[in-house]
Amino acid sequence: MSGTSAIHAAPGLSYEAGHDHDHDAAGKALWGFWLFMMSDLILFGLFFATYATMLDPMSYAGGPTPRDLFELPGAAMETAVLLTSTLTFGLASLAVKYEQGRGRVLGWLGVTLALGLVFLGLEVREFAHMIAIGAVPQRSGFLSAFFGLVPLHGLHVTAGAIWLVILMVQIVGKGIDAGLTSRLARLALFWHFLDIIWIGIFSIVYLGGIV
């Protein structure tokens, strides 16, 4: 490495043989992805804040209130399914790390995908029920905020599921190489991130609405 001797030899700047940038593409992509998630977190934070300001009789506008709409069993079920999917994704990551073979990785990813789809199904069922009883976003400011926040999370999960399918197809086609490991690491981050968001939704929207 260039110590003080190099500085004396060449003040300001110098050129040294055989020393170029390291091309740490995976590391850079991971940094970029962390930044994207920070940005995305602000997005969610503002939807949460908007929702919180809409927990107010003025914003209920005479329509249904959280107490009328939310019930714990459904939300608890969704929570259990999504949290389990984060566990199974973790197991898939471990399978990649300890090179337990393509089959096991695909297996855990498949379970994760299935749980993600079940979660989405439960969520759609809940929305359908709300719409059926007239709790539509056009009804009140409060319901607009609900249908802004919770489906936004659902859309993220959908995007994550599509991404998961793409990676699974790549694993089947090309196996697990360095590029795929890096992509899988980013998707894992994203998936766990969505879990944390959901915990916020569960606590603020559902638990907060029922108490």
Partner 1 sequence: MTTDFWRIVFGRLDLGALDFLTAFRDPTLNEIILSGAAWAVILGGLAAVVALSRYRLWGPLWQNYLVSVDHKRIGIMYIVLAGIMLVRGVLEGVVMRGQQADGLGGGFLSANHYAQLFSTHGTIMIFFMAMPFLTGLINIVVPLQIGARDVSFPMLNSASLGLTVAGAALVMISLVVGQFSTGGWTAYPPYTDSLFQPGPGPDYWLWSVLLAGLGTTITGINFVVTILRERAPGMTLMKMPMFTWTALCTAILMVFALPPVTVSTAMLLLDRYAGFHFFTNALGGNMMNYANLFWLFGHPEVYILILPAFGVYSEIVATYSGKRLYGYGSLVVATMSIAVLSFTVWLHHFFTMGQDADMNAAFGIATMLIGVPTGVKVYDWMATMYRGRVRMTVPMVYLVSFMVLFVLGGLSGIILANPSIDFQVHNTLFLVAHFHNMLIPGLLFGMLAGYTYWFPKLFGFRLNDRWGYISAWSWVAGFVLVFFPMYVVGLMGMTRRTVAYTNPAYQPWMILSAVGGVVVTVALLSLFVQLYVSIRDREFTRDIGGDPWDARTLEWATPSPVPAYNFAVIPHVHAREAFAVAKEAGLGYQAPPAYADIHLPGDTWMGVILAVFGTAFGFGMIWYMWWLAALSFAVMAVAFIGRALRGDRAGVVIPAAQVAAEHRAWLAAVGRLAPVTREHEQDGINHGVAAPETREVAA
- Number of Cβ within 10 Å of residue 198's Cβ equals 23
* Chain centroid to CA 144: 22
Of 56 and 76, the one with the shorter C-beta distance to partner 1 is 56
User: 30: closest CA among 195, 184, 196, 170?
Assistant: 184
Of 59 and 100, the one with the shorter C-beta distance to partner 1 is 59
Of 16 and 99, the one with the shorter C-beta distance to partner 1 is 16
Distance CA 193, CA 197 (A): 6
Q: Which of 101, 103, 121, 179 binds partner 1 (CB under 8 A)?
A: 179
SS3 per residue for 109-174: HHHHHHHHHHHHHHHHHHHHHHHHCCCCCCCCHHHHHHHHHHHHHHHHHHHHHHHHHHHHHHHHHH
Q: Are 95 and 61 a contacting pair, CB within 8 Å? A: no
172 near partner 1, judged by CB under 8 A: no
89 near partner 1, judged by CB under 8 A: no
Q: CB of residue 83 vs partner 1: minimum separation in angstroms?
A: 26
Looking at this protein, which amino acid is placed at residue 188? A
Considering only the stretches 64-72, 79-87, 95-103, 141-149, report the one whose residues sit in contact with partner 1 under the rule CB under 8 A. Answer: 141-149
203 near partner 1, judged by CB under 8 A: no
5 near partner 1, judged by CB under 8 A: no
Half-sphere exposure of 81 (CA within 13 A, CB side): 19
95-134 binders of partner 1 (CB under 8 A): none
Contacts of residue 35, Cβ cutoff 8 Å, sequence gap at least 6: none
24 near partner 1, judged by CB under 8 A: yes
Q: Which of 60, 190, 191, 202 binds partner 1 (CB under 8 A)?
A: 60
Instruction: Tell me whether residue 211 is exposed, middle or buried, using C-beta atoms within 10 angstroms of its C-beta: 0 to 12, 13 to 18, 19 or more.
Output: exposed
Q: Which of 65, 144, 158, 182 binds partner 1 (CB under 8 A)?
A: 144
28 near partner 1, judged by CB under 8 A: yes
Of 77 and 152, the one with the shorter C-beta distance to partner 1 is 152
Residues in contact with partner 1 by the rule CB under 8 A: 2, 6-7, 10-21, 23-24, 27-29, 31-32, 35-36, 38-40, 42-43, 46-47, 50, 53-54, 56, 58-61, 63, 137-145, 147-148, 166, 170, 179
